[in-house]
């Protein structure tokens, strides 16, 4: 059966990771241009986590990598990078769990 992360394709995982690497690279660039509102060491740390996910092709994720990936998946911000089946996994199958006969008026 496996965990949720086992059900998300490696391709989707890498797409999400690449998106995060770009995001943190842009933030670090903004910091280098003088933006004082960016925590450089924090961005560097997150960028490294996501780079490791890309480098490993979404396999053998570290605890930190799994945590970041789950946060990203459940945020809903990266749904466009997932297949319809993967999106359905995140939404759950609520219709099957709902039984109108059990509802009280």
Residue 78's SS3 state is coil
Q: Dihedrals φ, ψ of 75, to 5°?
A: -70, -25
Residues 13, 58 contacting (CB under 8 angstroms): yes
Length of the chain: 105
Q: pLDDT, tens digit, for every residue of 6-17?
A: 999 999 999 999
Q: Which pTM value belongs to this model?
A: 0.82
Residues 27, 36 contacting (CB under 8 angstroms): no
Angle at CA of residue 82, ends 77 and 26, nearest 5°: 45
Q: pLDDT, tens digit, for every residue of 15-47?
A: 999 999 999 999 999 999 999 999 999 999 999
């Amino acid at each position: 059966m496996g965990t949720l992360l086992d059900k998300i394709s490696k391709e989707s995982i890498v797409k999400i990771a690449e998106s995060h690497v770009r995001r943190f690279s842009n933030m670090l660039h903004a910091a280098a241009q003088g933006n004082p509102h960016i925590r450089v060491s924090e961005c560097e740390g997150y960028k490294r986590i996501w780079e490791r996910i890309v480098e490993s092709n979404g396999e053998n994720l570290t605890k930190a990598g799994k945590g970041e990936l789950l946060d990203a998946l459940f945020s809903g911000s990266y749904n466009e990078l997932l297949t319809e089946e993967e999106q359905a996994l995140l939404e759950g199958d609520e219709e099957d769990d709902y039984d109108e006969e059990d509802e009280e008026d």
